[in-house]
Amino acid sequence: IVSIDSRGFRLVCADVSESVTYVVYKPKHNRMISFVDDSIQRWSTTASMIDYETVAGGDKFGNLWVVRCPEQASKEADEEGIGGYIVNERSYLGGAPYRVELRSHFYTQDVPLSIQRTALVPGGQEVLFWSGLQGTIGMLVPFVSREDVEFFTQTEQLLRAEEGPATLVGRDHLMYRGYYVPVKGTVDGDLCEGFLAMGASGKAKLAGEVEREGKEVERKVLEMRTRVAF
């Protein structure tokens, strides 16, 4: 076990080779019951609960991921008493009766050693702040509107097709960020910031694809930093 985090009587245990397991403690019967685990092995290096049902973590291969407890399993685990449904549920392949739902996955090329939900300035937007073995410091910033999701997703797709400084790695960007598991629920902010390094003609072409002015695209990209106090 590499980490244990808790909210109330619910615990999340991250294992060195078996991902995360949700456990509920029943104080009246002095009993701990595992009710959710993962469907694949994750060689966890860190994990932290970001809300009552959601966990963010990383593994030794350089992946960051976010998983969530199914709603039905969460309700059953919070039942009064010993938790009859959870105790009597049939285990699946020798594990817990339920499996976590993968919400986000992203390859970072560094081994995450810590991750936590925090605001960088008082009153600022909360982010997932993480640090890696090689000294990498990064953050995952949640989008606040569907418009932002659509804009940055489209911008990322267009930048993947570009050549030069904007591509970051000089090869297929999608294969790079999905080195072990396909990218899910995440937009590469470093790639989007590559727009700022493009020439005037490249900026104008890409801005035309997203039906915006070049300056407006630059403003949207920089706004993601200033929103969390960078």
Q: How far apart are CA 169 and CA 162, in angstroms?
A: 11
Q: How far apart are CA 12 and CA 9, in angstroms?
A: 10
Residue with token string 């953050």: 139
Architecture of domain 143-226: Orthogonal Bundle (1.10)
pLDDT in tens, 156-178: 988 888 766 556 777 788 888 88
- Which span out of 49-63, 161-175, 176-190, 201-215 was modeled with the highest average pLDDT? 49-63
What is the per-residue pLDDT for 108? 92
* Residue 68: strand pairing partners: 54, 101
pLDDT in tens, 1-50: 899 999 989 999 999 988 999 999 988 888 888 899 998 889 999 999 99
Per-domain residue ranges of the chain: 3-107, 143-226
Q: How far apart are CA 164 and CA 180, in angstroms?
A: 25
Please provide the DSSP assignment of 70-121 as one string.
-HHHHHHHT-STT-HHHHHSPPSTTS-SEEPEEEEEEE-SS-EEEEEEEESS
SS3 sequence of 125-136: CEEEEEEECCCC
Amino acid letter, 66: V
What is the per-residue pLDDT for 132? 95
The H or E element that residue 40 is part of is: none
Out of 8-17, 66-75, 76-85, 93-102, which region has the weakest mean confidence (pLDDT)? Answer: 76-85
On whether the CB atoms of residues 161 and 194 are closer than 8 A, the answer is no
pTM: 0.86
Q: Label residue 81 by pLDDT band (50, 70, 90).
A: low
Q: Which residues contact 187 (CB under 8 A, 6 or more apart)?
A: 149, 152, 153, 156
Please provide the DSSP assignment of 146-212 as one string.
HHHHHHHHHHHHHHHT--SGGGSSSS-HHHHHTSSS--BS---HHHHHGGGGS-HHHHHHHHHHTTS
Q: How far apart are CA 77 and CA 24, in angstroms?
A: 7
Mean pLDDT of the chain: 87
Is residue 92 over pLDDT 80? Answer: no
